[in-house]
Chain A
Amino acid sequence: MPTPLLQIRDASKIYYSGGFLGEKKSVVALDGFNLTIEKAPATITTIAGESGSGKTTLANLVLGFIKLTSGKIIFDGEDITDMTAEQLKVYRRNVQAVFQDPFGVYNPFYRIDHVFDLVNNHFSLSDNRSEYRDMVEAGLNVVGLYGEDVLRKYPHQLSGGQRQRIMMARAYMIKPRLIVADEPVSMVDASLRASILDAMLRLRDDHGISFLYITHDLSTAYQIGDQIYMLYQGTTAERGTALDVIDAPQHPYVQLLIDSVPVPDPTDKWDVDISLPSEEEMRTAASQGCRYYPRCPHRMDRCLEEQPPLYKMGKPKHEAACYLYEENEIAPIEPPLLENRVISTAAFDSGRRRQRERIAVAVLVVIALALGFFVGASRQPETVVETVQETVVITATALPEAAAPTEAPPTATSPPAAAPESQAIVPAFVVEPEGASDKGSIAWGADAVGEIEDADDRHLYTFAGYEGATVQLKLITGGRGLSGTGFYAPLATIFGPDAQVVLAFDRARRSHSGELTFPADGDYQIVIGADDRGRGVEVYTITIEGDEPAAPAATPMPTLPPPAFAVEPAGAVDKGTIVLGEDTVNEIEDASDRHLYGLEGIAGTTVDIKLITGGRGLSGTGFYAPLATIYDPNGEIVFYFDRARRSNSGSLTFAETGSYQLVIGADDRGRGVEVYTITFEPADA
């Protein structure tokens, strides 16, 4: 068996952040990732996924720009981490990169031929001038260009598509075996993309160069890709041929993704309406279990246990990491081939274990280094996967009210939207908590997503209520969609701490919402079951929204980077002292006009600062505003406004008692302002 061109095995990359004594955080950008690209025939392997899914991290790893936290990258039988300097040089020739911004890599002051001269110097392609010129011409021809059209031009004289193809030609001249192309077409207009994709196809078919094609654009992958890997938060959700995966996605995330690609046909409009997600939040999902769990409409308890492996789908090489396919065979991870030697699986497994241990040690070392000393404790640091997500609830469009089912007229007994105070309501249908499967608790502002199988399937959630507080409850369902006569939805009953029904959703409607004012403190329960005709629902989302009584402390002001422009107090006109709570209004003439205000600070107190400017108004790029810098009694800058914006605000906590100074001047382009108002208000007054 020949060694594959590229083998990535159990590759993980963790980024660490958090500074000195600060909170340590780690972001798992790639987690236990496996990939194989065979030597022949040459292929285009697409890595696709949403922003932050780890695509660029993978590209940078393969290019050797960053190091793996654990795992292996093996190129033509050689582990790239163990390469000698000599081997690395060969590796860099074999693996070339083409990046997203075809303009960024050009020097605007040099003509295009300079790009090729640089390559020649660096890789010593040819000493012979005419041979070299032929090579350049051949390279350009491969990507559909001619030297006389482009070589004497400056970068800005070429279209984005031409610039990007020149990068391909440049890469081709080095005769690599693999080109890592990170979003090569995303900055290029649709009508010009084809030329770049065509260049890729020619390099693949006529010159045997394989591609690792990184993109978030599924349509180009569909047009030219061979294999595709769909990443979700650093793991492979699904892989297979681009045609199989995109035509018939199996993983719930991939299904959602493909369903969201807009169809370029106005007669085939999104026939579904979105219920605007009432909840999208910074989530801290444990790195345990399926990464898609928080958003998955099919999630099961099982999914939290451990990350799902890739299961085989019907088509060869088509695999999806989802427990919905647990019955299927698990796709084996081939042990890596090193220089034609097969490493025994046992050795590989123990290697994997060791790597896991190494991650733990690495994390500790980083923390220790950051703290400046080594912590001997063997505490396993907490690894969190932090992402900002949008919870998407896509449901079929509501039909007009009239389309509600007629079989079970619910109107007469339909409960009031909210329970009148301290009076239990009598719903037409009650879903009993007994025997329901406990789904844990829901926090205010979070939403719970689940599926109801049938009439026997009932889900119980708990949430905390505070007497007098009011929340909005929203139950949205989708999935199987329309029943014969309209939408249907599970029934839901909400019980108070004393087991009284306090709210019920019992209409056969697609969506329910209602307000609940808690009659008492304590645990409340929502029980959700099939609809009044025993039909389950593929997806429901229940959301509780409200301002929690004990509102979490407002998030701290992000620390300011150093100011780009400081306004110096020396030479500024003294305008007296600012009085807390009162507006100070003035005008800045021009760049030489600077105003200095005194401000008395008391250590530990916080003020909200607001700088509003008006008058001449908008500049071309937006609003502009004077620059302002605040100095503490020691002359250190503690706050500033230096953006070209009309208005700014922020808050300042005085570090010490004493006289602070605020200096205001023209904006960074020397423009004054007709009116500015600056206000300091005691925070949370």
Chain B
Amino acid sequence: MTKKNESSSDRVVLKVDNLRIHYATPQGDVIAVSDISFKLYEGETLGLVGESGCGKSTTAYGILQLVQPPGYIVHGSIEVAGTEVLDLEEEELRKFRWTGLSLIPQGAMNSLNPTMRVKDQIIDVIEAHEGKQSDKEALRERIFGLFQNVGLPNRIYNMYPHELSGGMKQRVCIAMGVALHPTVVIADEATSALDVVVQRIVAQTLVKVKDEIGVSLIVIGHDMGLLAQIVDRIAVMYAGKMVEIAPVANVYAKPLHPYTQLLIESIPSIKERKPLKITEGITHDPRNPPSGCIFRLRCPFAWEHCAEVEPLPIDVEAKHEVACHLFDERFEDRRANAYATLANS
């Protein structure tokens, strides 16, 4: 039984095009995000996954124009509901954050100001954008409304963060993130620091709030189990590249990109004991990526062509694209072989 609306519309609310972000280091630029493009549809929850250091958070910060030196955006385009974010002036951008785009940052719950009451932190977000609110009663009601959205009791209004549990703090962050009804909310590892029980509540809160307020959501995470439960599509990143974007059901049932396959295979299970499958992490220097396919140093199916030509995203079906030469029609035989190997292993 699936209650979740799979029916995210075809209206694009966020369009990232050819975005490239570098971090300058004395030994040369680290390519954190390498010419990625993707779309986020209205009402959709998109999961962004990949191993640590693959550029997930940098992508999020890039979208929000929050990349901090020595990081910088080399090129690209980020369009939110028709607005080109990269063209915004500082002041417009400031307004746009929270209202157009908002971020629930990694470790958000630790970013709450310990010396400020919960209410004041939320009032800040509101007042910073809408000016000082004279109707205190209305403001209070509004905050209670937000509390209700995220399942917090009103009694925390006057509390300090240290008086809340981790899950409650995380929900305060969610409340702040949606306070101004942004078009797009990006939640960076919003639940990773929490216990499974609390994680589940927070994750479901996030999706519920998303539906209620009608925002579109990008969930950055590494827990494939959790993402299976809450997202509509999954974007898989590897070393700064987007290697596959697919509807969630496809990703788990028939992952296409060899790296996605690896990710799916390594999902830990509490249902059956499986032999351990050992792999190594990103094996190239991020300043000096290999020619051709970014994954070829770890890919079991790589051949000469992979070293010569970079695979571009190929549409395999609606809203599903994969960047691997195996899905190029010209190499159909190779793909069949690769899959046969896989089936036998």
Chain A residues in the interface with B (C-beta under 8 A): 50-51, 144, 159-162, 189-195, 197-198, 201, 216-220, 222-224, 243, 246, 256-258, 260-267, 269-271, 273-274, 276-282, 388-390, 392, 397, 445, 545, 547, 554-555, 557-558, 560, 610, 612, 614, 616-622, 643, 645-650
Contacts and interface: CB of A to CB of B under 8 A. Distances in A.
Nearest to A275: B151
Interface string B212-246: 00000000001111101100000000000000000
Contacts of B203: 262
Contacts of A643: 113
B1 interface: yes
Given A191-B262, A560-B115, A649-B120, A282 B229 contact: no
Given A269-B2, A620-B71, A649-B116, A547 B280 contact: no
A278 B151 contact: yes
A256 B105 CA distance: 28
B229 A190 contact: no
Given A195-B276, A223-B274, 8 more contacts: A190-B268, A191-B279, A195-B278, A220-B268, A274-B201, A545-B153, A557-B115, A612-B127
Nearest to B112: A645
A144 B278 CA distance: 10
A270 B281 contact: no
27 contacts: A51-B166, A144-B278, A159-B280, A162-B280, A190-B222, A192-B51, A195-B280, A260-B196, A260-B197, A262-B199, A264-B224, A264-B228, A264-B264, A269-B2, A271-B1, A276-B150, A277-B151, A278-B153, A280-B167, A280-B168, A281-B155, A388-B166, A555-B160, A612-B127, A617-B93, A619-B68, A649-B120
B66 interface: yes
Contact of A198 (B127, B270, B278): B278
Contacts of B97: 617-618
Nearest to B298: A191
Nearest to A253: B197
A161 B168 contact: no
B279 A195 contact: yes
B339 interface: no
B114 interface: yes
A576 B189 CA distance: 46
B102 to A, nearest CB: 11
Contacts of A280: 153, 165, 167-168
Instruction: Determine which residue in A191, A201, A263 has the highest number of CB atoms from chain B within 10 A of its CB, and name it.
Output: A191
Contact of B276 (A194, A279, A616, A617): A194
A279 B153 CA distance: 6
Contacts of B165: 280, 282, 388-390
Contacts of A189: 51-52, 222, 281
B330 interface: no
Contact of A190 (B69, B160, B196, B267): B267
B197 A554 contact: no
Given A612-B127, A617-B93, A265 B268 contact: no
Interface of B: 1-4, 51-52, 61, 66-69, 71, 90-91, 93-94, 97, 105, 111, 113-117, 120, 124, 127-128, 150-151, 153-155, 158-160, 162-168, 194-201, 203-205, 208, 222-226, 228-229, 248-249, 251-253, 262-264, 266-270, 273-274, 276-282
Contacts of A645: 113
Contact of A194 (B67, B228, B277): B277
A347 to B, nearest CB: 40
Contacts of A194: 266, 276-279
A160 B278 CA distance: 14
Contacts of A261: 196, 225, 270
Contacts of A274: 200-201, 204-205
Nearest to B164: A388
Contacts of A257: 195-197
B252 A445 contact: no
B273 A50 contact: no
- 10 closest residue pairs by CB, A with B: A620-B68, A276-B151, A219-B268, A159-B281, A388-B165, A262-B225, A617-B94, A189-B51, A264-B225, A50-B195
A201 B276 contact: yes
Contact of B229 (A223, A270, A390, A555): A270
B4 A555 contact: no
Given A159-B281, A266-B248, A612-B124, A193 B266 contact: yes
A684 B128 CA distance: 23
A647 B128 contact: yes
A245 to B, nearest CB: 10
A269 B226 CA distance: 10
B158 to A, nearest CB: 5
Given A274-B204, A390-B168, A650-B115, A265 B154 contact: no
Given A191-B262, A388-B165, A554-B158, A618 B276 contact: no
B37 to A, nearest CB: 23
A260 B200 contact: yes
Contact of A612 (B128, B154, B164): B128
A161 B153 contact: no
Contacts of A262: 196, 199-200, 203, 223, 225-226, 228-229
A452 B46 CA distance: 42
Contact of B197 (A50, A555, A646): A50
Contacts of B151: 276-278
Given A220-B268, A618-B97, A159 B282 contact: yes
A413 B150 CA distance: 34
Contacts of B200: 260, 262, 270, 274
Contact of A620 (B67, B117, B167): B67
A217 B268 contact: yes
A191 B263 contact: yes
B114 A558 contact: yes
A637 to B, nearest CB: 14
Instruction: Determine which residue in A198, A266, A617, A645 has the highest number of CB atoms from chain B within 10 A of its CB, and name it.
Output: A266
Contacts of B229: 262-263, 266, 269-270
Contact of A216 (B115, B195, B277): B195
Contacts of B160: 555, 557-558
B276 to A, nearest CB: 4
A160 B164 contact: no
B69 A620 contact: yes
A271 B5 CA distance: 14
A648 B277 contact: no
Nearest to B259: A191
A193 B277 CA distance: 9
